[in-house]
Amino acid sequence: MCGATYSSTELNNAKSAISGATPITKDSEHYFFDLPQFEAQLKEWTNAGHLQDEVSNKLAEWFEQGLKQWDISRDAPYFGFQIPGVEGKYFYVWLDAPIGYMASFKKLCNEQDIDFDEYFNKDSKTELYHFIGKDIVYFHALFWPAMLMGSNYRTPNAIFAHGFLTVNGQKMSKSRGTFIQARTYLESLNPECLRYYYAYKLSAKIDDIDLNLEDFKQRVNSDLVGKVVNIASRSAGFIVKKFDKTLSAYAIEGDLYNEFVAQGDSIAQHYEARNYNQAMREIMKLADKANQYIDTHKPWQMVKEEGKEAQVHDVTSLAINLFRVLVTYLKPVLPVMAEQVEAFLNIDELDWHSLKHPLTKHKLTNLNHSCCALRMLKLIK
């Protein structure tokens, strides 16, 4: 039965899928974690909104079957941490692995003089979230909270499980050439592009994500290059060459700018709910509006007409401000691009609160610098 667990003695004709060897039985002393002792606490915790509905429903099935003692020891030879004072016995990897989250953070706290207890004490007011794969829900949503409860530490605010990654609709496979290591990708392409593509597809559901390479290329070229970066590319040249790199003194089309800023609440809610795909779609709708605004006013034509310089200045200045809003909304997904745009805009930081006021009479950086910033998302060929 899918999702069920069986001991080796319950299987018919059991054998190793790797070596073909059949299991043997032998006497061995093991150590157990008393998971049933925490069943009531775990039921309360899993039903308190800390998990996605799909995960809560799956855990309800396990609760219905009754929680069992958890075997946390393994006999040598075994990788991992040896149980102190016991020869040839090791902690099961899924006992010590989550503790590594705390241990690595504790190391950071020691190095940077951060109060570890402020984050992990039972009465901590900080927010703690786990993002995991759907195949390790059992360990993170049952075992790990029980370990924290038993150790008098706080539990996570929420645990978000995601599906698997497929490539061109299939599981990763070396033989099919779809087994892509992160290092291989980074040697060839910008990580910002992949981060955006995943965000465009990632929802709060436990759905698999497919990396379709042709769709990946089209999505990045269409959205990031063709829509977002294109806004600045079509406007920055006028500001730098015609207006001494300085934005106009007046924020024309205030309704359009205010519409962009007002949309920030909805986008923030999508981020908070982990519906990144919805956030990306709303941002791209705004990018379409910004490009439509530029198409309507055609500053490249107005600049040729006598007496239209002020209009060109206002139109391109508003376009740069709309670009600023969009990159601010994309900053959680594209932090490097945002950093380079901050340099181009000659500002300390892109933040949501400062968007209430457009940049006016504000000087941009050198065009060469801005070109480097705006071309960091190269067309994928």
Domain with CATH 1.10.730.10 in the chain: 220-377
Residues of the chain with CATH 3.40.50.620: 28-162
Least confident span in 156-160, 169-173, 279-283, 349-353: 169-173
Rounded to an integer, the average pLDDT of 306-312 is 93
2: pLDDT strictly greater than 60? no
For residue 15, what pLDDT band results from cuts at 50, 70 and 90?
Answer: confident
The chain-wide mean pLDDT, for the chain, equals 91
Q: How high is the pLDDT of residue 366?
A: 66
Task: Count CA atoms closer than 13 A to 243's CA, side-chain side.
Answer: 26
Q: Helix, strand or coil for residue 121? A: strand
- How does residue 188 score in pLDDT terms, banded at 50, 70 and 90? confident
Q: Report helix angle 264-272 to 309-330, nearest 10.
A: 20
Q: Which tokens in the block code for residue 224?
A: 């990031």
b or e along 15-53 (b: 16 or more beta carbons within 10 Å of the residue's beta carbon)?
A: eeeeeeeeeeeeeeeebebebeebeeebeebbeeebbbe
The band of 176, judged by pLDDT with boundaries at 50, 70 and 90, is: confident
Question: Domain 220-377 has what CATH class?
Answer: mainly alpha
Q: Which tens digit of pLDDT belongs to each residue from 45-63?
A: 999 999 999 999 999 999 9
Fold category of 28-162 in CATH:
Rossmann fold (3.40.50)
Could you tell me which residues come within 8 angstroms of residue 288 by beta carbon, excluding any fewer than 6 positions away? 227
